[in-house]
Structure 1
């Protein structure tokens, strides 16, 4: 089993990215080597956000011994840190403007003012232009740290003004070792979770520690493999959307209630008391934010389902080309072999193309059930309705 190093400030939550840590540690220690803006890219689960926070802590702290400042930054409470992580579908232009305005303030307590934007790929072009202005003429002691899956997710004008740092993707065995060390789960469960999560550390940890998530994933994949006709399409698509909806509610409901109670306590309103008009606008704003978060949570849940389906049909393609050394869904391998023998590879590739199209459709607010029904029709028929319309 791969060993897991003991945590050390501020890099303790960064794992498996030694080259990136060395580069950023050196930049934080040498003002002459420091760029005014960085873009950290890597696949989901590669550790972009923990690395950004660790770099921010190293920049703001007075040195390796300034652990108090580092802990403040890592907790998100230091005055010289501004961090934006959207829980909506996009970063709103008002949020970007607020970040840009704060970037022009000098550091108040630390060496630098650091602006961290974790979801830079969720900016529209108009919002990106707000950020571009802040990057063109940054103050001397302000450093921007952007995070995105790929540099291609940002406008070329922004890419030209940042230093790109690409993270590596860890191996399944490395993720499994980390999850086993963090959670204490059985090594076999950790390995399965790392494999099913396709090396996404956060998702692997959830699968390893939440049996219901493991069962839900297995039922979804077996359900899709069992689809034979239109009646199955409607039933399975409905089950998938309902499961994703229930999962999203489970993740957001408790937090929503706690936020509402906290707001009412802050303004001195007891439980069950009448809400005065002056507070209603604050509650409405909170509820609007929560609705955006719920929508994002549902989309993220459906995107995880599509990622799992992508792994399923990717495995089939691998078997069709006699490449079975790196199968993700080993528990279903006999069913996958049967499908691989029965289908031509072109049909499997058509399904994979439609999975990508479905992901794009959901980002454009297409009704989830209809999008998944269309995808499952492709699984049944071997041809994509979208492809036929384009033809």
Structure 2
């Protein structure tokens, strides 16, 4: 399949980028800003575009080329991907990127630098990047990713070509899961629970524990009545987030080690040569594992906030008699949601969603997760009094 076949619900964008990659290199913009809400696949789009630009077949052949496989696996020498485990991307990291961007590509037509979270740059850090974005080196392409153009400084927006992504439709996400061998009913449920977020849908499809934890969270939110309920639910959620993150990091490290062996022609039981041992050991380095667990724990908690918000979204849908038009996310809990919609005023349902937004802001500001969720659940319990 072509490099674009794994992109879900972005047909207009993939057609445009495929045409650009296949066109005259002299006419290719060298600074891009790829924007889309969480789950729209902006990082995957950036990688696919990079693979098409670097591959001799421009990403169109049914069988992926060596260059395509390398880019998508993160092992291509001329494609650098920056994703941070921190709240912000540091100025020293950006200075290193600027130095790298001035170097000619070693094996491919372009040196490509992908920054997954350019919105995490402080203004002074962005200023270091600005000149390179405005006047890139002759053979360098910058692919910047952010949730929206408004999350990026105007000085960056004005110097890049904007690509805007949409949230994939639920049928498109379900069809994608089915194409990966997921049962029809499970694919539809995972697409609905993920609210169109591709990565979350894939997680729910492959990980029964993640689905179970989400179900338990929704039941817990629907049952909030006292402060003690809030404290217990917050403690359980934070503990489960850490466990999920550890499980996911272990899975990812296993995949990366397997890919390292494959790329270097090593079997599962083969001894790692001395010349490669340092690079192999770096995959499972303790400090790196700790950082990844911390980052993924925050991702799990952010996903939990989306699930909590979906409860009150469903309440608002019922209160406004919009089920036929908007549908329910949490169909399995429809009776309890109907009861909650009667217990709350419309203004309280909106207030609950605003409380979730405030918790998200506190969490993204590096707030203590346990305190953030204790405060959130206590606020939600108080709304019922």
Does residue 15 of structure 1 match 2:14?
A: no
> How big is the shift at 1:179?
0.5
- Once residues 365 and 70 of structure 1 are traced to their aligned partners in structure 2, the CA distance between those partners, rounded to angstroms, is 37
Counterpart for residue 306 of structure 1 = 305
Partners of 1:266 and 1:231 lie apart in 2 by 56
Q: 1:232 to 1:76 in 2, by over 3 A?
A: closer
Between 1:80-89 and 1:159-168, the stretch displaced more is: 80-89
Secondary structure at the aligned position of 1:35 is classed as coil
Say if 2:320 is the partner of 1:327. Answer: no
Return closer, same or farther for 1:216/1:63 CA change in 2, 3 Å cut-off.
Answer: closer
What's the counterpart of residue 39 of structure 2? 45
Do the aligned residues in 2 keep the contact of 1:41 with 1:166 (CA within 8 Å)?
yes
Q: 1:292 maps to what in 2?
A: 291
Greater Cα offset, 22-31 or 294-303: 22-31
The residue aligned with 1:102 is: 100
Aligned to 2:192, which of 169, 192, 195? Answer: 195
Q: Deviations over 1:72-104 (max 9, x none)?
A: 333333322222222333323232222211111
Residue 227 of structure 1, CA deviation: 1.2
Deviates more, 1:126-135 or 1:144-153: 126-135
Q: Which runs of 5+ in 1 are unaligned?
A: 1-6, 271-278, 384-391
How much does 1:55 deviate?
Answer: 1.2
CA-atom RMSD in angstroms: 2.8
**Aligned-pair CA distance for 1:315:** 0.8
> What is the DSSP-based 3-state SS (H/G/I as helix, E as strand, rest coil) of the residue aligned with 2:225?
coil
Partner of 1:275: none
Structure 1 counterpart SS, 2:350 = helix
Map of 1:36 onto structure 2: 30
Q: TM-score, normalised by structure 2?
A: 0.86
* Secondary structure of residue in 2 paired with 1:143: strand
Deviations 1:331-376 (A, max 9, x none): 1111111111121111111111110010111112221111111111
Q: Tell me, yes or no, if the aligned pair for 1:38 and 1:162 is still in contact at 8 Å.
A: yes
Tell me the residue number matched to 2:230: 233
Alignment partner, residue 215 of structure 1: 212
Report if aligned partners of 2:225, 2:382 keep a CA contact under 8 Å in 1. no
Alignment pair present for 1:176 and 2:169? no
Q: Is the Cα–Cα contact under 8 Å of residues 8 and 173 in structure 2 kept in the other structure?
A: no
Partner residue in 1 for 2:85: 87
The answer as to whether partners of 1:62 and 1:111 remain within 8 angstroms in 2 is: no
**Aligned positions, number:** 361
Instruction: Map 1:343-362 onto structure 2 (within 5 A).
Output: 343-362=344-363
Given that residues 89 and 292 in structure 1 are in contact (C-alpha distance below 8 angstroms), is that contact kept between their aligned partners in structure 2?
A: no
Work out the CA distance in 2 between the residues paired with 1:94 and 1:254: 30
8 Å contact kept, 1:316–1:340:
yes
Q: Map 1:239-388 to 2 at 5 A.
A: 239-253=236-250, 286-325=285-324, 326-382=327-383
Secondary structure of 2:360's counterpart equals helix
Q: Please say if residues 79 and 111 of structure 2, whose CA atoms lie closer than 8 Å, have aligned partners that are also in contact.
A: yes
